[in-house]
Amino acid sequence: MSPFGAAIAARILDEAEWRPEPVSGARLLVRALEREGVRHVFGYPGGAIMPVYDALPGSSLQHILVRHEQGAALAADAYGRVTGEPGVCLATSGPGATNLVTGIANAFMDSVPMVAITGQVASPLMGTDAFQEVDIFGITLPIVKHSFVVRRSADIPAVVAEAFALARGGRPGPVLIDLPKDMGVMVAGPAEPAARVELAPPVDGQALAQANALIAAARRPVLYVGGGVAIARAERSLRGFAERNGLPTVATLKGLGAIPTDHPLFLGMLGMHGSHAANIAVDECDLLICVGARFDDRATGKLDSFAPNARVIHLDRDPAEIGKLRRACVGVAGDIGAALDRLSARPDAVAWRERCGRNMRSTAPRYDAPGNGVYAPALLRDLSKAAGDRAIFTCDVGQHQMWVAQHCRFSRPQAHLTSAGLGTMGYGVPAGIGALLADPDATVITVTGDGSIMMNIQELATVRRYRLPLKILLLDNSQLGMVRQWQELFFAENFSEVDLSDNPDFAEVARAFGIEAFTIDHRDEVSGAIERLLRTEGPILCHVRIDSRENVWPLVPPNSSNVQMLERTW
């Protein structure tokens, strides 16, 4: 328990002493959430969490009633990504808690601050296989930063304060609070504060000096950017570092927007579906400056052939990431922004920068696809241009996820929310809900597929209930497109269980939920569709039928170097 948490506990309990009515644990929980500045809570009620729901009316918290607990966790995830503060989700015990697990794992994989609060059976019943009892503490141990089981109602304020400090501190992530039902009902007694602090490691001056020496000696440097830049809110420092050194820059899926994707130095996303220019530059570089990335397999391809001739400088907030997968010549742990500001050396890399730029221009994607059907990459490019800098894209998982990453414009990382590490289908609509509540002035666009939207389509009811102006672009190829593409290329066209031709009419489904919707399937309808999507004040779904045979290019085959890209032939 941090000193801050102990102070919160004492202050809340002091307030309770002069109140004429007893203060239950549930009310202490609600007050503690208010003191953390929480405005929105995503959840679904049930038996064990009912005392908390009894305490919610009259508080300053707006509870968002989702239609499935997974939707609550994924909405809280997006809320945390946009605000940088922990998103909060609530669920009851048993299936309510287990339904949160995918969303908690999603936040853990992408280092998103979250506090998940679950009801639990009453303390005397724990361990007896009581109705709706599961050991959610044990189930989630591998996918949380920390877990609490409340044993005394008086501890609730301090537990909440510490949970929030842990969720947002260091490398952010989810924290679980499991609240037995009797602890929510019981009147609080005196608290016993303890101490726990999480300190940021100082930036190593000697490591920075070594990094500066490597940068000064480099002739073919590449800046490799990951999601840690957004977590640290270090975009300004990163852009300054890239620009003063003229560094060709590549990004992971989560790193997109850390430097604007239309910036002259930006070569594109790297990796399995990365751009030709990005993958070639990394392969040929003599210095790889990795900032807030973790050498994920989707980015590196075959690891022993990734940047084979490069020395590596690795900057990360989490010391455990440095050297975990690729040995770094210099590792710099700590505040990424402060470290970038102190990297002052300048490489002699003008010729290299110009060479990378020429390669990027000569291999830029084409948008003149044959035929009269809707070409998804062109649609997404035009939509992102029309939506402008205030847009936030929340994206599901599949072919459309890669098309968004490749062809949409992002000027900030908070404009691109997607499930990167876990690859959670069904992320898009709940994330759109969370993003709109976090930033009501943004134009929030969910890009989804016919497979992904069915995972959490019930959340259209949540969109309608709260009149959220979510713009949904549904790319429908009547297939599980990414699986079908891999079966086509690597499994001898043995198409197994990817046919979704019995999909419902998605426009009719949306209208049944009370959401405006329309369908297009020809290229000449695209500009009008974009205008209608963005002009409509309330929620709207644009159902787009596309060619079921369309693939994502480039593609690096499994167990291959990133330079062994399969590319489009037309």
Active-site residues, by number, are 69, 131-132, 181, 482
Cβ burial, residue 124 (10 Å; 0-12/13-18/19+): exposed
The beta-strand segments (E) located in 348-497 are 391-395, 416-418, 443-449, 471-476
Under 8 Å between Cβ of 170 and 318: yes
Residue 137, CA distances (Å) to 62, 130, 133, 162, 506 in order: 26, 16, 11, 17, 38
CA neighbours within 13 Å on the CB side: how many for 415?
A: 23
Under 8 Å between Cβ of 413 and 234: no
DSSP-assigned letters across all residues of 18-87: H-SS--BHHHHHHHHHHHTT--EEEE---TTTHHHHHH-TTSS-EEEE-SSHHHHHHHHHHHHHHHSS-E
Task: Please state whether 499 falls in left (phi above 0), alpha (psi between -120 and 50) or beta.
Answer: beta
- Measured between alpha carbons, how far is 430 from 470 in angstroms, rounded to an integer? 10
Neighbouring-strand partners of residue 378: none
- Measured between alpha carbons, how far is 236 from 238 in angstroms, rounded to an integer? 5
- Measured between alpha carbons, how far is 262 from 247 in angstroms, rounded to an integer? 15
Residue 40, CA distances (Å) to 99, 163, 209, 370, 469 in order: 20, 17, 45, 47, 17
Q: Which residue has the tokens 């597929």?
A: 449
- Measured between alpha carbons, how far is 402 from 273 in angstroms, rounded to an integer? 7
Peptide bond into 554 cis (omega under 30): yes
Residue 501, CA distances (Å) to 428, 498, 505 in order: 22, 9, 11
Among residues 99, 105, 123, 101, the alpha carbon closest in space to that of 48 is found at 123
Among residues 541, 554, 568, 553, the alpha carbon closest in space to that of 450 is found at 541
